[in-house]
């Protein structure tokens, strides 16, 4: 910074742009390992995934790359599991998001306040997110066990189940053993798992709402519900969209929960695209067909990315 000596012209144009250029170069240098890593292990596989769906690679011959056109797609479209998986993926994702938007709004509204033991609640709330997905699925598998579920026991005590009960005389709900309840159970597990992330995103938006707006509403005598629906929810709309898109992406791309909780069953009633892609590609050994199945997630990913990025950059301009 010798240019800054007394007597030198203040901020001459040439040195400043030279510094900016040097800074840019250092910036790219510091950024390059990350870019290389992402290009090599996300970008390249991403392109390969698309190519692979049009080839005939198998587990036995994983690097075979003969172009076979749309044969893989034709093959998977003929299988009944395809439409079932597609429909279930949509049902599970949308179902999760509908419940989640309500719960995350309530939870963030609670956590926006100060109260004793808040730290403890924050810790407790992170349990579903901190527990590894597969272990969480095992935990729910045991909680929803057909014979020994403690939830069934509570329902029996309340005479909801058992002789004379509303859902009696059966002693069990068989959460994972009946087609309708199995899908609902999968949705519940996802709601449970995604609640921490959704709450954190919504809370970030909630805390950014200027305090004066709430104070003004209080002076005007608006009740809790009125404040919630007139001020909080409209101000939260953009963040709710982000929260829903992010969690939706994580739900629609997950296969561990279904793999461990229901194995896609009973029948194919909880079969979803990512798990079917795994079954076809890795378990079934048909890599290219598996890649073709997984590729149906791509439009969803692209649509969500475009919406999020447009929102992110538009809000900067505003």
Partner 1 sequence: MTALPSRFWGRLGFYILLLLLSLFVLVPGIWMVLTIFKRSSDLYNAQVDPFLYHPSPTLKHLVYLFTQSPFLTFALNSLIIGVCVVAITLLVAVPAAYALARLTGRWGRDSGMALFLVYLIPPTLLFIPLYQLVTALGLANTIWSLVLVYPTIAIPFCSWLLLGFFKSIPATLDEAAMIDGNSRFGAFRKVALPQALPGIAACVVFAFSLQLSNYIYAATFVTSTGAMTVSFGVPTEMIRGDVFFWQALMGANAVVAIPLTIAYGLLFNRLVMGFQSAEGG
Stretch that binds partner 1, among 6-14, 67-75, 76-84, 298-306 (CB under 8 A): 298-306
Asked if 171 and 80 touch (Cβ cutoff 8 Å), the reply is no
Q: Which burial class, exposed, middle or buried, applies to 129 when counting CB atoms under 10 A from its CB (0-12, 13-18, 19+)? A: middle
Size of site (CB under 8 A) for partner 1? 108
**Minimum distance between the CB of residue 119 and partner 1, rounded to whole angstroms?**
7
Selected binder of partner 1 within 88, 107, 232, 271 (CB under 8 A): 107
- Least CB distance to partner 1 at residue 310 (A): 10
Binding segment toward partner 1, per CB under 8 A, in 77-85, 177-185, 209-217, 250-258:
250-258
Smallest separation, CB 228 to partner 1 (Å): 12
Is 78 one of the binding residues for partner 1 (CB under 8 A)?
no
User: If we measure between CA atoms, which residue out of 152, 183, 187 comes closest to residue 170?
Assistant: 152
User: Using the rule CB under 8 A, is 62 a contact of partner 1?
Assistant: yes
Minimum Å gap between C-beta 222 and partner 1 is 12
Bond from prior residue into 212 cis (ω within 30 degrees of 0): no
Count the residues in the chain: 318
57 binds partner 1 (CB under 8 A): yes
Looking at beta carbons only, is 62 or 163 nearer to partner 1?
Answer: 62
Residue 34 found at the interface with partner 1 (CB under 8 A): yes
Q: What angle do CA 247, 99, 258 make, to 5 degrees?
A: 60
Please give the Cα distance from 291 to 268 (Å, whole number).
20
Instruction: Establish if 258 lies at the interface with partner 1 (CB under 8 A).
Output: no
Strand, coil or helix: 165: coil
Site residues (CB under 8 A) for partner 1, limited to 145-184 = 147-148, 150, 153, 171
Tell me the two tokens of residue 316. 């900067």
Q: Considering the rule CB under 8 A, would residue 103 count as an interface residue with partner 1?
A: yes
Angle between helices 233-252 and 179-208 (to 10 degrees): 140
Q: Which residues ranging from 120 to 149 are in contact with partner 1 (CB under 8 A)?
A: 121-140, 142-143, 147-148
Q: Specify the residue, 238 or 268, whose C-beta has the smaller distance to partner 1.
A: 238
Which CA distances in Å does 289 have to 42, 65, 257, 278?
Answer: 20, 13, 22, 10
In angstroms, what is the minimal distance from the CB of 147 to partner 1?
6
Residue with structure tokens 């950059």?
A: 313
Chosen residue from 255, 258, 262, 271 binding partner 1 by CB under 8 A: 255
Contact status: 92 vs partner 1 (CB under 8 A): no
Query: Is the CB of residue 112 less than 8 Å from the CB of residue 207?
Result: yes
Residue 63: enclosing H or E segment and its boundaries? none
Using rule CB under 8 A, residue 215 touches partner 1: no
**Contact at 8 Å (CB) between 262 and 274?**
no
| Stretch of 72-80, 173-181, 226-234, 236-244 contacting partner 1, by CB under 8 A | 236-244
| Contact between 249 and partner 1 per CB under 8 A | yes
């Amino acid at each position: 910074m010798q240019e800054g000596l007394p007597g030198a012209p203040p901020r001459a144009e040439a040195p400043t742009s030279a510094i900016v250029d040097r800074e840019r170069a250092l910036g790219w240098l510091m950024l390059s390992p990350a870019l290389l890593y992402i290009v090599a292990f996300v970008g390249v596989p991403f392109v390969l995934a698309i190519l692979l769906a049009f080839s005939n690679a198998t587990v036995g011959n994983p690097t075979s790359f003969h172009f076979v056109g749309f044969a893989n797609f034709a093959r998977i479209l003929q299988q009944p599991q395809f439409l079932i998986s597609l429909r279930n993926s949509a049902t599970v994702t949308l179902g999760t998001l509908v419940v989640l938007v309500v719960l995350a709004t309530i939870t963030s509204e609670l956590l926006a306040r100060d109260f004793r033991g808040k730290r403890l609640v924050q810790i407790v709330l992170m349990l579903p997110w901190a527990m590894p997905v597969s272990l969480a699925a095992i935990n729910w598998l045991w909680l929803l066990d057909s014979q020994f579920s403690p939830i069934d026991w509570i329902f029996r005590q309340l005479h909801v189940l058992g002789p004379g009960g509303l859902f009696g005389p059966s002693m069990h709900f068989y959460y994972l053993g009946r087609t309708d309840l199995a899908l609902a159970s999968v949705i519940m597990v996802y709601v449970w798992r995604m609640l921490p992330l959704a709450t954190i995103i919504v809370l970030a938006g909630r805390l950014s709402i200027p305090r004066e707006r709430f104070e003004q509403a209080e002076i005007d005598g608006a009740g809790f519900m009125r404040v919630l629906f007139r001020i909080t929810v409209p101000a939260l709309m953009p963040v709710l969209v982000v929260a829903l898109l992010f969690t939706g992406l994580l739900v629609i791309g997950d296969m561990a929960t279904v793999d461990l909780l229901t194995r896609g069953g009973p029948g194919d009633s909880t079969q979803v695209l990512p798990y079917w892609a795994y079954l076809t590609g890795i378990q079934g050994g048909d890599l290219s067909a598996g890649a073709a199945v997984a590729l149906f997630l791509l439009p969803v990913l692209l649509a969500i990315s475009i919406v999020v990025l447009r929102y992110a950059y538009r809000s900067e301009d505003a």
